[in-house]
Amino acid sequence: MSMKLHQLRAFLTTAEQGSIRAASRTLHLSQAALTKAIKELELDLGVPLILRTARGVQLTAFGQQLRVRSHLIVSEMRRAEEDIAQMKGAGAGSASVAVTPTAALSILPQAYRAFRRQMPNARVSFIEGFPGVAMPRLRDGSLDFVVAVVVPEHLAPEFDHIELYESRSVIVGRADHPLKECTRLAELSDAEWLLNPSPESSTQALLDDYARRGLAIPGRVIECPSFVIAHGLLRGSDAIAALPESLLKHHWVGDGLAVFPIVDTLPAVSVRVVTRRDSPLTPAATLLLDCLRHAAMSQ
């Protein structure tokens, strides 16, 4: 068995695009050349990977499994190529990063300016750093690192992490929320909560805190890994959420919201950088991480 990189790229792009035609356009290959690469891969592995249907292509069970692994393989090969190009002085480099809203609104602008001064031509990609969305993409190699509010004890052993900064949690709801005068977590058990379902997130720390106090764990939950959607629901419905206090310093975030005067001590919010333990960062990703750490220390 001898899988080749061009075969994996052909297979992975076809799986992502959903059709041979779309994949051939993305890779600038003829449909015949793309089909040949996938057929060669299937012959090498001795199993079918894709099925053609009237709606495009569908992955077999073998294809689904290969897709998980090939993401990481192709990403690591790209990083290796970038490392060599950087050493030769011939590459612009790239960094793909997930950043939590609290860091995006505080330290990211300063860090990005510093990064751009040193790498003006690097390709950069950002997504929101909610663990439920970001961690699978870090695992499969789509992201270089994740800046997120996470609970270190709940991270899988395949990840490393460092703390950028810590913030206090506060409970918020709309300015005229009927529960805005509540002072104890116990009074909020029956409220509708906006929570992030990922086990690594700060949501889990809040639920653990409820359990530790012997309180009824909130049962009315909106799973929402999107800050824009969450912000709209907080301002326009009876939903409540635990947010980093530092996030509310930005006026457009805090406008229309009330901080509940909860006297119970809430879990601290730890904003951390999470990386894959077995994958060194590219020069561009390393520089961006250094800029983020410097910005965090100077805030």
DSSP characters over 135-175: HHHHHTTS-SEEEEEB-GGGS-TTEEEEEEEEE-EEEEEET
pLDDT band at 91 (very low <50, low <70, confident <90, very high): low
Residue 279 has pLDDT above 60, yes or no: yes
User: pLDDT value at position 26?
Assistant: 87
- CA 217, 218, 220, 225 dihedral sign is negative
**Is 155 in contact with 161 (CB distance < 8 Å)?**
yes
pLDDT band at 1 (very low <50, low <70, confident <90, very high): low
Q: Tell the CATH topology of 5-82.
A: Arc Repressor Mutant, subunit A (1.10.10)
Across the range 164-169, mean pLDDT stands at: 90
What value does the mean pLDDT of the chain take? 88
Q: Is the pLDDT higher at 144 or at 203?
A: 144
Superfamily in which the 92-165+271-298 domain is placed by CATH: Periplasmic binding protein-like II (3.40.190.10)
**Is 101 in contact with 227 (CB distance < 8 Å)?**
yes
Q: Most confidently modeled of 85-94, 265-274, 279-288, 290-299?
A: 290-299
Q: What are the tokens at 216?
A: 């009824």
Q: Please tell me the distance from the alpha carbon of residue 292 to that of residue 164, in angstroms, as a whole number.
A: 8
Domain 169-266 belongs in CATH node 3.50.40.10: no
Residue 163 has pLDDT above 60, yes or no: yes
Tens of pLDDT, residues 200-223: 777 777 888 888 889 988 888 898
Query: Where do we find the tokens 């005067």?
Result: 261
CB under 8 Å to 77, separation ≥6 — which residues? 5
| Domain residue spans of the chain | 5-82, 92-165+271-298, 169-266
Residue 228 has pLDDT above 80, yes or no: yes
Alpha helices in the chain (DSSP H): 5-17, 20-27, 31-45, 61-88, 101-104, 108-118, 131-139, 202-212, 227-236, 251-254, 283-298
Tens of pLDDT, residues 23-60: 888 888 888 988 898 998 888 888 999 988 878 888 89
Quick one: three-class SS letters along 35-55? HHHHHHHHHHHCCCCEEEECC
Residue 187 has pLDDT above 60, yes or no: yes
pLDDT band at 65 (very low <50, low <70, confident <90, very high): confident
